[in-house]
Amino acid sequence: MQLDLRTFALVLAITHLVQVMVFSYQYKIIKHYRGIGCWLLWSIAEVLGFSFIFLRQFPQLQFISIIMQNSMIVLGVVFLYIGIILFFERKVNYRFIFSIYTAFLLVFLYFLLIDDNILIRGITVSVTLAIIAFLTAHALFFLRPHSVVSTANLNGIFFLIHALFFTLRTILLPRDILSVYPYVLNPLNIATYIDAIVCSIIWTYVLIMMINQRLNAEMKEAKEEMETIFNTSPDAAMISRLSDGMIVYVNNAYSEISGFTREESIGKTSLDLKIWISREDRKALVDKLVQERRISNYETVFQKKDGSYFPGLVSASIIYLQNVPHMFSITRNITQRKMLEEKLRALSLTDELTGLQNRRGFFTLAEQQIKIAERMKKNMLLFFIDLNKMKQINDTLGHQGGDRALKDLAKVLKEVFRESDVVARIGGDEFAVLALDTSDESQDTLTKRLYKHLDALNSSKGRDYILSISVGVARYDPKNPSSLSELMALADSRMYEQKRTIDGEVLFEAHQKP
């Protein structure tokens, strides 16, 4: 079969049709890159341009075919140039580039419609294509970003060769006027078609390489930025497979907080490392994450490499790596915060003067113990204690003397009752004790022990006053449970009954001695 130039034109049309599909796909998946849409328009324009070559053989369509063929081919390379400028995130001088295209079109139409001169039309097309190719090569060599240097330089070389070829064609056309006819089989026309086929294929291939190179560079930058953020974060960051907890990435803070190095962690599961105290703890977090897709400030306890524990505040979300769900989590060590909270809580529940529980602390702990006693069927005793003659102590010895008296009574209560009992100063000169897990004989035993320690304190040398107390006791019976307020009211009532019987004690024996 004899090869003619129609075959070359057909190959070019098919080549650019494939480019249309390639750039349509690229434009669809990477719309945020500017310029790809213009490359798609380049391919469409070239398909139209080379398709109109076939219509030139029909006399009734020859005139419109000549216009469309040349205008589309030149417009296509204009779109190609604009696309490269936009892809490089540079500003396009639309006035300049379309001035070139407009000048081409006006000259071409003049020597078609007014002064029909096919040689000048051919020279005009070649000159315009050479100018745009030189501009495109300049953009590829001097305007390209650092991320696509190698591919831009490669494409620039082929555009430069293409520009030089059309410069040479412009020089040769007057000597070989038959080359302006697209179907004349001669060396210059054959070279022109071969140049068009080879360049279009190479340009497309290298443009795709430029896209991929830019994507890879941006992914590398994003990865480096992510690693920088991760590794400068004071919180432990981890990426682990959702199904089994296999660790694929950890940051520096993770190693500092957990004690496990990256080498010890990556490829192992969090359960292998025993970071979680139990499997149920991880399962609870994962179940919540799967249900809500994202969790914030989930509080749990983790185990370090040395076996010690620390409280952590976890924020996590599900990400997909190679279509496999992973958990991306950031954990903050809140040990210091917990210590501060405990300190503040202790301060809010503790009487500053005596070191006992204050009223708030007493009611908080006592309510908890009543619930436990009701569930466990345990007896308890509530002692309501009042320091007698407190006003006289303050009037005689001042408030410093009153403070000493309150401290002394607090010391006695600590000696008499157990650490597990709830001992408190609930206000002024009033104290309360909830004695846990008592028997029927405990009330007499504890009361006698209380007065015995009080007598021992009063008999010690160098004292300015004698401590005297009134005591009311209420018993908590799990078979007939009472509320804390009911127990307090009953113990308070019994304390005041005893208080009314106390009259005229000698409280300032040391001061009354001559």
Per-residue pLDDT tens digits for 249-274: 898 889 989 999 989 999 999 888 98
Is the pLDDT confidence value at 494 over 70? yes
Is the pLDDT confidence value at 437 over 50? yes
The rounded distance, in Å, linking the Cα atoms of 24 and 319 is: 29
Residue 179 per-residue DSSP state: G
pLDDT > 70: percent of the chain: 95
pLDDT at 344: 65
The rounded distance, in Å, linking the Cα atoms of 5 and 59 is: 19
Is the pLDDT confidence value at 146 over 80? yes
Is the pLDDT confidence value at 514 over 80? no
Selection from 246, 259, 256 nearest residue 308 by Cα:
259
Q: How confident is the model at residue 38 (pLDDT cuts 50, 70, 90)?
A: very high
- For domain 233-334, say whether CATH 3.30.450.20 is its number: yes
Query: What average pLDDT does range 378-407 have in this prediction?
Result: 90
- Higher-pLDDT residue of 135 and 460 is 135
Selection from 140, 18, 129, 130 nearest residue 70 by Cα:
129
Token pair of 301 as six digits: 């306890």
**Sign of the Cα pseudo-torsion (356, 359, 361, 366, in order):** positive
Q: How confident is the model at residue 4 (pLDDT cuts 50, 70, 90)?
A: low
pLDDT at 502: 62
Residue 377 per-residue DSSP state: T
Per-residue pLDDT tens digits for 80-132: 999 999 999 999 999 999 999 999 999 999 999 999 999 999 999 999 999 99
The rounded distance, in Å, linking the Cα atoms of 151 and 208 is: 9
pLDDT at 59: 78
DSSP-assigned letters across all residues of 428-495: TTEEEEEEES--TTHHHHHHHHHHHHHHHHHTSTT-SS---EEEEEEEE-TTS---HHHHHHHHHHHH
The overall average pLDDT reported for the chain is 88
Is the pLDDT confidence value at 472 over 90? yes
CATH superfamily of 350-512: Reverse transcriptase/Diguanylate cyclase domain (3.30.70.270)
Is the pLDDT confidence value at 464 over 50? yes
pTM greater than the 0.85 cutoff: no
The rounded distance, in Å, linking the Cα atoms of 510 and 305 is: 63
**What would the 3-class secondary structure string for 50-116 be?**
HHHHHHCCCHHHHHHHHHHHHHHHHHHHHHHHHHHHHHCCCCCCHHHHHHHHHHHHHHHHHHHHHCC
Query: What average pLDDT does range 411-430 have in this prediction?
Result: 92
The rounded distance, in Å, linking the Cα atoms of 95 and 91 is: 12
Instruction: For tokens 């209560």, name the residue.
Output: 413
**How many CB atoms within 10 Å of residue 1?**
4
Q: How confident is the model at residue 504 (pLDDT cuts 50, 70, 90)?
A: very low
DSSP-assigned letters across all residues of 263-313: HHHTTSBTTTTT-BSSHHHHHHHHHHHHHHSEEEEEEEEEE-TTS-EEEEE
pLDDT at 509: 44
Q: Which amino acid is at 84?
A: I
What residues pair up with 300 in beta bridges, in sequence order?
Answer: 312
C-alpha distances in Å from residue 234, one per residue of 55, 189, 252, 327: 70, 68, 9, 19
The rounded distance, in Å, linking the Cα atoms of 127 and 512 is: 127
Q: Which class for 394: exposed (0-12), middle (13-18), buried (19 or more C-beta within 10 A)?
A: middle
- Higher-pLDDT residue of 216 and 110 is 110
The rounded distance, in Å, linking the Cα atoms of 129 and 103 is: 13
Q: How confident is the model at residue 205 (pLDDT cuts 50, 70, 90)?
A: very high
Backbone angles phi, psi at 273, to 5 degrees: -80, -10
Percent of the chain as helix, strand, coil, to the nearest 5: 65, 15, 20
Token pair of 177 as six digits: 């006027």
Per-residue pLDDT tens digits for 49-58: 888 887 777 7
pLDDT > 90: percent of the chain: 53
Is the pLDDT confidence value at 304 over 60? yes
Q: Which class for 241: exposed (0-12), middle (13-18), buried (19 or more C-beta within 10 A)?
A: middle
**How many CB atoms within 10 Å of residue 296?**
11
| DSSP reduced 3-state for 323 | coil
Per-residue pLDDT tens digits for 307-328: 898 999 999 999 988 889 999 9
Query: What average pLDDT does range 129-152 have in this prediction?
Result: 94
Token pair of 323 as six digits: 């279509």
